[in-house]
């Protein structure tokens, strides 16, 4: 469980805003269910109430690696879908008590079945659909759900991969996410240009998707 804390000079206003926040740490491993409740309890005990939960954690491996390793695939699907959903279910019950925001990182990879990210994308697609359902069911009861769909962002997850056009930086993503939480937007593409990129990709016919490699 992580809190988005922007840290670049260009985000000084956001940084000032977060300076008054109390920061505490609790161990939460998305591959170990037993860590979820203690982590949430530790957060509630330290902060007395929770009104925003941001789930940024995610696992990644390339499609060729996953295709040759069923156990690695199981691990990635479990962390990115099953256990993220289970963690969100725990957060949902805590947040519904007073109202609040659940913000979770999915990916543009979930918007279309694409050759380079079939397995990773499938988990993110499922996650996005789950978050959409939560938004439909619980918005009226005070739970705001924000599904973040980053495009390619230069972070440790993408180290070693060739950045495509429109690759973003973490600080820009953090600023977009803070804005989306403030506004209660149910879905946010970041960097914003990826909303347009994915609109085009979603519209491509299947015979084109079979031929292209992205
Ligand atoms: N970077 C991109 O291009 C991109 C694009 C689309 C979506 N996303 C999504 O955006 C989110 C943030 O990714 P990022 O780019 O910031 O990658 P990152 O720098 O690798 O951050 C991922 C974080 O997830 C944590 N994590 C991994 N497995 C975990 C587990 N089992 N339990 C708890 N934490 C775990 C990692 O912790 P440790 O450091 O301790 O391993 C790391 O801090 C992810 O959900 C990712 O799928 C990223």
| Cβ < 6 A, ligand 1 pocket | 29-31, 56-60, 79, 105, 107, 150, 152-153, 155-158
pLDDT digits (tens, 9 = 90+) for 91-102: 999 999 899 999
- Predicted TM-score (pTM) of the model is 0.92
CA distance 23 to 54: 14
CA distance 152 to 203: 20
Two tokens at 183?
Answer: 């506004």
The pLDDT assigned to 22 comes to 76
72 neighbors 65 (Cβ within 8 angstroms): yes
pLDDT digits (tens, 9 = 90+) for 17-54: 666 677 888 999 999 999 999 999 999 999 888 999 99
The helix (run of H) or strand (run of E) holding residue 69 is none
* Residue 103 CA to ligand 1 centre (angstroms): 14
Burial 59-75 (b: 16+ CB within 10 A, else e): bbeeeeebeeeeeebee
Two tokens at 1?
Answer: 């469980």
* Residue 45 CA to ligand 1 centre (angstroms): 26
Looking at ligand 1, which residue's alpha carbon is closest to its atom 18?
157
Distances (CA, A) of 163 to 8, 40, 106, 157: 21, 35, 19, 12
CA distance 155 to 136: 32
Looking at ligand 1, which residue's alpha carbon is closest to its atom 45?
58
pLDDT digits (tens, 9 = 90+) for 54-86: 999 999 999 999 999 999 999 999 999 999 999
CA distance 187 to 156: 24
Looking at ligand 1, which residue's alpha carbon is closest to its atom 20?
157
77 neighbors 120 (Cβ within 8 angstroms): no
């Amino acid at each position: 469980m992580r809190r988005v804390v922007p840290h670049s000079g260009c985000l000084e206003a956001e940084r000032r805003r977060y300076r008054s926040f109390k920061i505490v740490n609790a161990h939460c491993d998305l591959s170990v269910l037993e860590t979820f409740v203690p982590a949430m309890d530790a957060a509630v005990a330290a902060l007395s109430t929770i009104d925003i939960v941001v789930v940024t954690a995610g696992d990644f491996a390339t499609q060729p690696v996953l295709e040759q390793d069923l156990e690695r695939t199981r691990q990635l699907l479990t962390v990115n879908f099953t256990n993220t959903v289970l963690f969100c279910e725990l957060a949902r019950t805590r947040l519904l008590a007073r109202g609040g925001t659940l913000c979770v990182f999915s990916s543009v990879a979930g918007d279309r079945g694409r050759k380079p990210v079939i397995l990773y994308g499938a988990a993110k697609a499922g996650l996005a659909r789950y978050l959409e359902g939560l938004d439909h069911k619980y918005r009226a009861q005070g739970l705001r759900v924000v599904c973040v769909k980053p495009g390619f962002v230069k972070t440790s997850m993408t180290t070693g991969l060739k950045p495509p056009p429109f690759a973003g930086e973490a600080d820009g993503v953090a600023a977009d996410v803070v804005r989306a939480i403030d506004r209660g937007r149910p879905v946010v593409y970041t960097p914003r240009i990826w909303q347009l990129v994915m609109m085009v990709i979603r519209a491509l016919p299947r015979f084109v998707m079979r031929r292209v490699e992205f």
